[in-house]
Amino acid sequence: MRRSRIFWGTVAPVAAILTSCLLMYIILSLRGESPWELFKLMVSYGFEPRNLVSEMNLTVSYYLAGVAAAIGFKMLLFNIGIDGQYRMGAFFGAVVGAAIDLPPVLHVAVIIVVAMIAGGAWAAIAGYLKVRRGVSEVISNIMLNFIAAAIIAFLLSPKLLGSLPEGSQNVQTKPIPASGQMPTIKIFDGQVYSVFFLAIFVGIAYWVMLNKTVFGFNLRATGLSFRAARSSGVNAPGMIFVTTVLSGAIAGLVGIGTLLSDTHSYSMAFPSGFAFTGLSLAILGRNHPVGIFFAAFLWSFLERAGQVLEFEGIPPEIVIVMQGTIVLSIVIAYEVVARINLKQQQRAVGKVNTEVLAEVEAK
């Protein structure tokens, strides 16, 4: 039974990716292009050393967003507020990091903790509204994303927490001193952010917390059945609130790599869209830390490799179509797999019942 579940759990994402490739093949053929040549070009471009470095750095951010979304999914929470939580984490991490002067390791640790607190605190608003007022976390988080962006834009004023470097039109926070910066690792022709190791730690901690702790058991139990968990003595509303805060805290780390290893300051030029990406990766990776990593690398690879299509006169937005098809296909595939597993379980139970009845009749 376990082998069957693993088999179908592997087949589902593979089938979704192949379906997406087939759709892309059809679209390119209708344009009169040679799909195979373009696929080869994308693969060749995506695996160039300098592009692999960029993909790895982007994978780390996507991975953290995916883990943040997966924590929410385990509680059946749709944390679409990852974008706002990540921005609050990166912004306040940058502000505090620029304002203090500490030894190197301690300085970086304080920035990371501040980013997690800021992201978690912002998510706590949606958690409170969900538990105390019954407000859907989807609605509240969508609103909170816009509010976060507006608050940061206001605070980034040169008269408040922002600064305008000479010769630049991009308002940003004051730069973080060298003691608060994270080193990079030189690989190929680029620099890989050392926050990669932090992402590995987060993935391991997420798996251990979920599978080896009482909190993780209560989290999964509450996600499976709120009423059953509450009846068994679990503080289900409290679990929902804590899980929401934990998801927001991880989301607060999404921009740490860019902040501490690249820009060393926060500006409105920081990328957006991590909410939908994180949710998609959690679905594709089945909320498993290893699955989310491969999904994150696939996403970053497609985005980077898709840039070469523009040189061939093909809109790079076709990559977005491909990603969307993967998500849609994986949802359908997992539903089919769930039904197959259910039927197999029913057959197994029926077989056991038949054997038991046969033994009783024989006696």
Q: Strand ranges (DSSP E) for the chain? A: 162-163, 172-173, 184-187, 190-193
In a domain, residue 97? The reply is yes
In a domain, residue 103? The reply is yes
pLDDT at 285 over 90: no
Name the domain count of the chain: 1
Rounded-to-integer distance, Cα 307 and Cα 86, Å: 26
The enclosing domain of 170 has a CATH number of: 1.10.3470
In a domain, residue 359? The reply is no
In a domain, residue 64? The reply is yes
**What b/e sequence results for 99-133 when a residue is b if at least 16 CB atoms lie within 10 Å of its CB, and e otherwise?**
ebeeeeeebbebbbebbbbbbbbbbbbbbebbbee
In a domain, residue 16? The reply is no
Domain limits for position 213: 34-313
In a domain, residue 354? The reply is no
Consecutive H or E run containing 108? helix 104-133
In a domain, residue 282? The reply is yes
Rounded mean pLDDT of 29-54?
82
Q: Tens digits of per-residue pLDDT, 222-245?
A: 887 777 777 777 888 888 999 999
pLDDT at 266 over 80: yes
pLDDT at 204 over 90: yes
In a domain, residue 333? The reply is no
**pTM score over 0.75:** yes
